[in-house]
Amino acid sequence: MERPDIIRKTAQDLTVPPNLANYDAVHASFSWHEAERELAGLPGGGRNIAYEAVERHAQGAQRDKTAFRFIGAQQTRDMTYRELSAHSNRFANVLKDLGVGKGERLFILLGRVPALYVSALGGFKNGSVVSPLFSAFGPEPLLTRLKLGEAKVLVTTELQYRRKLEKVRDQLPNLKHVLIVAEEGKPAPSIPGTLDFNALMEQESDEFELVPTQAEDMALLHFTSGTTGTPKGAVHVHGAVVTHWATGKYALDLHPDDVYWCTADPGWVTGTSYGIIAPLLHGVTSIIDELDFDAERWYRILQEEQVSVWYTAPTAIRMLMKAGSEIAKKYAFPKLRFVASVGEPLNPEAVWWGREALGLPIHDNWWQTETGGIMIANTPAFDIKPGSMGRPLPGVEAFIVKKDEQGNVSVIDQPEVEGELALRAGWPSMMRGYLHNDEKYRKCFAGELYLTGDLAKRDQDGYYWFVGRSDDVIKSAGHLIGPFEVESALMEHPAVAEAGVIGKPDPTVGEVVKAFVSLKAGFEPSEELRLELLGHARKRLGAAVAPKEIDIVASLPRTRSGKIMRRLLKARELGLPEGDLSMLEGGA
Q: Shortest gap between Cβ of 313 and ligand ATP (angstroms)?
A: 9
Radius of gyration of the chain (CA): 24
Q: Does 434 bind ligand ATP (CB under 6 A)?
A: no
Q: Does 465 bind ligand ATP (CB under 6 A)?
A: no
Q: Shortest gap between Cβ of 559 and Mg ion (angstroms)?
A: 11
Please say which residue, 469 or 514, places its beta carbon nearer to ligand ATP. 469
Angle, helix 314-323 to helix 348-357, in steps of 10 degrees: 60
Q: Shortest gap between Cβ of 560 and ligand ATP (angstroms)?
A: 10
Q: Shortest gap between Cβ of 377 and ligand ATP (angstroms)?
A: 9
Residue of the chain from 114, 127, 231, 587 that contacts ligand ATP (CB under 6 A): 231
Q: Shortest gap between Cβ of 229 and Mg ion (angstroms)?
A: 9
Q: Does 275 bind ligand ATP (CB under 6 A)?
A: no
Please say which residue, 203 or 230, places its beta carbon nearer to ligand ATP. 230
Q: Which stretch binds ligand ATP (CB under 6 A): 28-36, 344-352, 442-450, 516-524?
A: 344-352
Q: Does 364 bind ligand ATP (CB under 6 A)?
A: yes
Q: Does 472 bind ligand ATP (CB under 6 A)?
A: no
Q: Does 194 bind ligand ATP (CB under 6 A)?
A: no
Please say which residue, 134 or 366, places its beta carbon nearer to ligand ATP. 366
Q: Which stretch binds ligand ATP (CB under 6 A): 131-139, 222-230, 237-245, 288-296?
A: 222-230
Residue of the chain from 18, 266, 279, 345 that contacts ligand ATP (CB under 6 A): 345
Q: Does 469 bind ligand ATP (CB under 6 A)?
A: yes
Q: Does 145 bind ligand ATP (CB under 6 A)?
A: no
Please say which residue, 342 or 533, places its beta carbon nearer to ligand ATP. 342
Q: Shortest gap between Cβ of 389 and Mg ion (angstroms)?
A: 15
Residue 366 touches which of Mg ion, ligand ATP, none (Cβ within 5-8 Å per kind): ligand ATP
Within positions 192 to 231, which residues make up the interface with Mg ion, using CB under 5 A? Answer: 224
Percentages (nearest 5) of helix, strand, coil residues in the chain: 30, 25, 45
Residue 343 touches which of Mg ion, ligand ATP, none (Cβ within 5-8 Å per kind): ligand ATP
Q: Does 498 bind ligand ATP (CB under 6 A)?
A: no
Residue of the chain from 389, 497, 533, 569 that contacts ligand ATP (CB under 6 A): 389
Rounded to whole angstroms, the Cα distance separating 138 from 78 reads 31
Please say which residue, 119 or 452, places its beta carbon nearer to ligand ATP. 452
Q: Does 561 bind ligand ATP (CB under 6 A)?
A: yes
Rounded to whole angstroms, the Cα distance separating 224 from 233 reads 7
Question: What is the bridge-based pairing of β-strands 376-377 and 363-366?
Answer: antiparallel
- Residues 46-69 as b or e (16 or more Cβ within 10 Å = b): bbbbbbbbbbbbbeeebeebbbbb
230, 586 Cβ separation under 8 angstroms: no
Q: Does 272 bind ligand ATP (CB under 6 A)?
A: no
558, 227 Cβ separation under 8 angstroms: no
107, 123 Cβ separation under 8 angstroms: no
Q: Which stretch binds ligand ATP (CB under 6 A): 35-43, 72-80, 223-231, 245-253?
A: 223-231
**What 8-state DSSP symbol labels residue 387?**
T
Please say which residue, 344 or 349, places its beta carbon nearer to ligand ATP. 344
Spatial neighbors of 500 by CB under 8 A, at least 6 apart, are 483, 487, 515, 516, 517, 556, 564, 565, 566, 569
Rounded to whole angstroms, the Cα distance separating 390 from 6 reads 12
Q: Does 348 bind ligand ATP (CB under 6 A)?
A: no
Rounded to whole angstroms, the Cα distance separating 561 from 559 reads 5
Question: What is the bridge-based pairing of β-strands 285-289 and 66-71?
Answer: parallel
Binding mask 1-40 vs ligand ATP (x if CB under 6 A, - otherwise)?
A: ----------------------------------------
- Residues 275-297 as b or e (16 or more Cβ within 10 Å = b): bbbbbbbbbbbbbbbbeeeebee
Q: Which stretch binds ligand ATP (CB under 6 A): 58-66, 238-246, 340-348, 474-482?
A: 340-348
CB atoms within 10 A of CB 439: 7
- At 88 the three-state DSSP class reads helix
Q: Does 225 bind ligand ATP (CB under 6 A)?
A: yes
Q: Where are the alpha helices (DSSP H) in 108-254?
A: 114-125, 139-148, 158-160, 197-203, 241-250
Q: Does 315 bind ligand ATP (CB under 6 A)?
A: no
CA 131 to chain centroid:
15
Please say which residue, 200 or 350, places its beta carbon nearer to ligand ATP. 350
106, 100 Cβ separation under 8 angstroms: yes
The full 3-state SS of 388-445, as one line of letters, equals: CCEEECCCCCEEEEEECCCCCEEECCCCCCCEEEEEECCCCCCCCEECCCHHHHHHCE
Rounded to whole angstroms, the Cα distance separating 384 from 465 reads 12
- At 468 the three-state DSSP class reads strand
Q: Shortest gap between Cβ of 228 and Mg ion (angstroms)?
A: 6
- At 7 the three-state DSSP class reads strand
Q: Does 221 bind ligand ATP (CB under 6 A)?
A: no
Q: Does 347 bind ligand ATP (CB under 6 A)?
A: no
Task: Note the residues at the interface with Mg ion (CB under 5 A).
Answer: 224
Task: Note the residues at the interface with ligand ATP (CB under 6 A).
Answer: 224-229, 231, 342-346, 364-366, 368-369, 389, 452, 454, 466, 469, 561, 563
